[in-house]
């Protein structure tokens, strides 16, 4: 259960999603540019952060073997650790790209991991927070989610040599993946629709904060509720900020 009764003076709560940090991004290649920008943002918000919410797809792919973890993201992990050392809680809501995370980040960087959307109370405002991929999915995507969340599939993947698994993912799912998906084609935001028609009528929230769609926006659900999609850090570099009264969508 997450509950923030009030913010310290001058402090704010920050939200970010869909960084899609690529494999080996800590190496000196063009892949490190996104990691550099993310760390610059973390340095910027750290002095004023009451809490940090990571709303999924932080990594382009993440899978933990018993004794191995993905190469790269060392500087990013160290930065998260510095937040926790300063008693700034970091909440990580897993997305479809990093759902196979286990407990490594929790033990090493101090983040708290969540696998489903959560209703959170902050400063007498109620938030529904999550990545968003499991909310109102299409039928085909729902079947894919069942397969992806299957424990047997994860066990079989763990039997593969790490280089094989990451090599296949990097080649077939990342390098060949055209990121101009449904959110670039004008498709209706299914998360917004579900929050407006199914959740809000039965359980009021002041703010619905999600990622996944890669399209930054704030839209009114009614005169007291607002929906926000945080966008991404592939093209938009947007993030959310709550100051105890109002929620803002900002660009870094």
**Residue 247 sits in which domain range?**
11-251
Q: Is there a domain that residue 71 lies in?
A: yes
Per-residue pLDDT of 12-62, as tens digits, reads 999 999 999 877 644 455 557 889 999 999 999 999 999 999 999 999 888
Q: Is there a domain that residue 228 lies in?
A: yes
Per-residue pLDDT of 72-112, as tens digits, reads 788 899 999 999 999 999 999 999 999 888 899 999 889 99
Per-residue pLDDT of 214-231, as tens digits, reads 999 999 999 999 999 999
Give the CATH number for residue 36: 3.60.21.10
Q: Is there a domain that residue 2 lies in?
A: no
Q: Is there a domain that residue 75 lies in?
A: yes
The tally of domains found in the chain comes to 1
Per-residue pLDDT of 125-181, as tens digits, reads 999 999 999 998 888 888 888 888 888 888 888 888 888 888 787 776 655 554 444
Q: Is there a domain that residue 4 lies in?
A: no
DSSP per-residue codes, the chain? --EE--PPTT-EEEEE----BPTTTTSSSTTHHHHHHHHHHHHHHGGGEEEEEE-S--BS-----SS---SS-HHHHHHHHHHHHTT--EEEE--TTTTT--SHHHHHH--EEESS-EEEEETTEEEEE---TTSS--HHHHHHHHHHT-HHHHHHHHHS-HHHHHHHIIIIIIIT--S--GGGTT---HHHHHIIIIITTTS--SEEEE-SS---EEEESSSS-EEEE---TTTT-EEEEE-SS-EEEEE-
Residue 186 has pLDDT above 50, yes or no: no
Q: Is there a domain that residue 122 lies in?
A: yes
Per-residue pLDDT of 63-81, as tens digits, reads 888 888 887 788 899 999 9
Q: Is there a domain that residue 5 lies in?
A: no
Q: Is there a domain that residue 204 lies in?
A: yes
């Amino acid at each position: 259960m997450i509950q923030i009764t009030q913010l310290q003076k001058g402090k704010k709560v920050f939200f970010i999603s869909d960084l899609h940090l690529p494999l080996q991004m800590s190496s000196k290649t063009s892949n490190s540019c996104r990691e550099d920008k993310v760390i610059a943002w973390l340095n910027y918000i750290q002095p004023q952060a009451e809490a940090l919410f990571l709303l999924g797809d932080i990594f382009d792919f993440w899978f933990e073997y018993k004794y191995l973890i993905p190469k790269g993201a060392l500087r990013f992990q160290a930065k998260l650790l510095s937040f926790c050392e300063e008693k700034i809680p970091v909440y990580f809501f897993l997305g479809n790209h990093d759902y196979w995370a286990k407990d490594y980040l929790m033990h090493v960087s101090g983040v708290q991991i969540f696998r489903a959307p959560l209703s959170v109370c902050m400063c007498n405002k109620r938030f529904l927070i999550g990545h968003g991929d499991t909310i109102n999915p299409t039928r085909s995507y729902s079947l894919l989610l069942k397969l992806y969340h299957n424990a047997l599939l994860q066990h079989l993947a763990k039997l593969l040599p790490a280089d094989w698994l990451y090599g296949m993912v990097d080649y077939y799912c990342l390098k060949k993946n055209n990121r101009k998906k449904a959110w670039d084609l004008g498709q209706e935001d299914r998360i917004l629709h579900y929050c407006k028609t199914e959740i809000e009528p039965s359980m009021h929230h002041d703010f619905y904060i999600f990622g996944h769609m890669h399209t930054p926006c704030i839209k009114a659900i009614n005169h007291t509720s607002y929906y926000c999609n945080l966008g991404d850090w592939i093209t938009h570099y947007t993030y959310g900020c709550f100051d105890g009264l109002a929620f803002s969508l900002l660009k870094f």
